[in-house]
Amino acid sequence: MAIQITAVRLTAGGTTHEHITQLWWTDQTSGDTGNSTRAQIVDWIENKSGKAYTSDAAGNRTEVGVVTPSKGEKYLRTHADGVWTNNLLALPRR
């Protein structure tokens, strides 16, 4: 199953990927919608073969990957053409 990430919530005052705490998503196949914590999505991608992506107005998809920093918690970031991108930060905030 692949989910489209449609919105994010950041910690108060946060501006970077590390500050994303909650993600809203839609399963385009089933129509299901929901929201999950960053940790839940990281676990789903790493341990349950989950796939997540963002989509722009033109329908271009960018895959969401897990970043494992040398310090701190794992976080999510989009990855396109071998480059880490900021598509998650461009999504609506909740």
Distances (CA, A) of 83 to 21, 29, 79: 23, 27, 6
For residue 1, pLDDT beyond 90: no
4-34 pLDDT, tens digit each? 999 999 999 999 999 999 999 999 899 999 9
What is the C-alpha to C-alpha distance for residues 5 and 37, in angstroms, rounded to an integer? 12
Q: In the chain, where are the structural domains located?
A: 2-90
In total, the chain counts a number of residues equal to 94
Compute CA 37 distance to the chain's CA centroid, rounded to the nearest angstrom: 10
26-66 pLDDT, tens digit each? 998 999 999 999 999 999 999 999 999 999 888 899 999 99
Mean pLDDT of 70-90: 94
Mean pLDDT of 67-87: 95
